[in-house]
Amino acid sequence: MSEFPLSRRSFLGAAGAAVAGAALTPQSAIAAPQILRRSLAAPIAISSDNGFRGVAKAVDLIIKGADTLDAGIEGVKIQELDPNDQSVGYGGLPNAEGVVQLDASCMHGPSKRAGAVGALEGIKTPSEIVRLIMKYTPHIMLVGKDAQRFALSYGYQIEELLTPASREAWLHWRANLSPSDNYLDVSGAEKMVVQSTTGTNPMMLLSPSGDLSSIVTTSGLSWKVPGRVGDSAIVGAGQYTDNTVGAAGSTGLGEANIMVCGGFLTVENMRRGMSPTDACLETCKHVMAMTPPRLIDERGRPRFQLQYYAVNKKGQYGAAAMTGSKYAVCDANGARHEDCAVLFPG
């Protein structure tokens, strides 16, 4: 009863007097009693394993009244600006020519709007650029040099995104690309990054009022063919939000995720009544059904990793991956890492 400013007896008495007064003076207005509604859910943010600091930052901002998308962007910017995170933004691993090209996209549940960039060069925080596209243009996606030109028109400066560590990793990859090329192989005793790697920082958020948003940012597949755009730039693949249902995002091999529109599919699974974890697992199963033989090993397992993360309107959350993986979550219990459900244990 503490939610109401009147006791039940005084409330009924006041209502009765109002009705009686209305009968005597039909022209007078009757003020409706004030009802304080409970919020739909506690604030929550979920992300990939590298988003631990980001989810904590985002939830703190939501508690202070920030919009879910604004909070999410401030969260993923931590990794975009961290030169030691080679999966996103500044310090991201480059393409085959040694150039860092960034992808990102976002969706804002309440306004039903989205923004995206593909193959963006020279801008550390593509998460901020996709918000500008969403807010100030009727478009959703800009790519390449024109995406960069758009960022410059809003006061951003072109910066070198390749750090010494990322450049060294690229040089090692190039030197060992082929035994018949014109480069000398790096000594096997040296620590090298040779195989292609994937890495991303997605975030899905829910406010106490029940509003949802999603954001994802990445430097994409390392050593990729220049101009390659992955799932993070594709609304409905790398991330997706329906403010009546939930939000979902992904990390891992972008091509496999694009083939199933994984972000959208996971939200649709929740729309059909699945929990976030089951929705993510179901999407993983669909990925396997769409995987070509060359990407499946002799045991029938994928030769790549793919993770999905989801939160629904009720504040339930979960994640699933092809093989063992962790993810970051922050809610009323604070920021922490949890284990993804797995499609292929062991």
Largest CA distance in the chain: 100
β-pair partners for 215: 106, 203
Degrees to nearest 5, angle at CA 288 with 282 and 291:
145
**Beta strands at 326-331 and 317-321: parallel, antiparallel or unpaired:** unpaired
8 Å CB contact between 239 and 105: yes
Q: What span, in angstroms and rounded, lies between the C-alpha atoms of 301 and 53?
A: 32
Spatial neighbors of 259 by CB under 8 A, at least 6 apart, are 287, 290
> Is residue 174 classed exposed, middle or buried when 0-12, 13-18 and 19+ CB atoms within 10 A define those classes?
middle
Residues annotated catalytic, as ranges: 200
Q: Is 99 left (phi over 0), alpha (psi -120 to 50) or beta?
A: beta
